[in-house]
Structure 1
Amino acid sequence: MSKPIDPLQSCLRQEAALIQQFISVLQAEAHALEQTADTGALIASTEEKNRLYGLLTQAGQERQAQLQELGYSTDKAGLDAAAHEYPVLKPLCQDLFDLAKQAGEINTSNGAVIDIHMRRNQQALDALRRLGNMDPLYDASGRAHHAPTHRKNIKAG
């Protein structure tokens, strides 16, 4: 005979497994960010992150539905209350919270590295514009625009 919390347990396990997959993708992304020329790996990790994000969204919605069906609120407080009433849920909830925290930390770190790369690339482009006096120039979105040319008029005599 099944217990009323069996569907919630299953949902929590599935969600934890998805977060673990997401963490693996984030770790691969971190490695690809170390290899600055590996844009193919970055594109692949972004696509996989987007796919997993969709699955995590569905799993979160299912968890919320299960909590609501059991009479709890659909937020963290509701999950905590369910774990308090059904102690078998406590390790699953803790695992879920720990994995989510780990994923958030890696994602934040990767975002900071991406920001550094973007600033470095922008600085390199700015330097090339100044040195090359190139016209037309391209902005970050690939659109051409004309930059003012700075030429010094030198007069002899």
Structure 2
Amino acid sequence: MTFEQELQAISSLVEILEREQNSLISADINQIRTLVDEKSKVLYALHAFSQSRYQWLAKLGFAASESGMADWLLSCNEEAAQAAWLTMQQLLVKAKELNRVNGLLINKHFTRNQQTLSALQGQSETSQFYGSNGQATTQVRLRSAIIG
């Protein structure tokens, strides 16, 4: 395990998440399925890299955690390692934000699909409003199919 390998894996994750976002926007289901498989492989590799890094830190006498990594970086005084670690952290922040936005897009698609399914099944749609007395009132709109 090297920083370069881990950095490359994180860069790959960011690239996959960006492609996933584009596929979610264009609703390209086949591409999304492919990207989910790619993303799973990269996440598995990242997990293996972090476990390897934790074992390496423990052998050096540091905590097998992110705080142990921070302690090692302070003690080693290697600018290249510190720069690589900083870049990795910045990419992880970007990946986290991309993943958050992708989750919102997935939720939007899910909600739209649920509404479409409900409309196709002729289910009623209820809306809640507040009356002049401050109490909630429910208004039901029945959906009916037009057969022609």
Of residues 83, 88, 91, the one that matches 1:91 is 83
2:53 counterpart residue number: 63
For the pair 1:11 / 2:2, whether they are aligned, the reply is yes
Question: In the alignment, residue 45 of structure 2 is paired with which amino acid?
Answer: L
Report the counterpart of residue 39 of structure 1 in structure 2. Answer: 29
Matched, 1:49 2:39: yes
Q: Equivalents in 1 of 2:48, 2:36: separation in Å?
A: 19
Conservation of the 8 A alpha-carbon contact between 1:25 and 1:45: yes
Distance across 2 between alignment mates of 1:35 and 1:22 = 20
Taking the aligned partners of 2:8 and 2:60, their CA distance within structure 1 comes to 23
Matches within 5 A, 1:4-153: 11-36=2-27, 38-88=28-78, 89-130=81-122
**What root-mean-square deviation, in Å, do the aligned CA atoms of Structure 1 and Structure 2 show?**
1.7
**Unaligned 5+ runs, structure 2:** 124-142
Please state how far the C-alpha of 1:70 moved relative to its aligned partner: 1.1
Query: What TM-score, normalized by structure 1, do the two folds share?
Result: 0.74
Distance in 2 between residues matched to 1:14 and 1:39, nearest whole Å: 30
Partner residue in 2 for 1:139: none
Identity of aligned residues (%): 25
Q: Secondary structure at the match of 1:73?
A: coil
- Structure 1: which 5+ runs fail to align? 1-9, 132-149, 152-157
Q: Greater strand percent: which structure? A: 2
The superposition leaves residues 7-48 of structure 1 with CA deviations (integer Å, 9 ceiling, x where unpaired) of xxx522211110100111111101101111x11100000000
Contact 1:67–1:73 under 8 Å retained in 2:
yes
- How many residues get paired? 123
Give the 3-state SS of the residue equivalent to 1:130 in structure 2.
Answer: coil
1:79 and 1:93 in contact (8 A); partners too = no
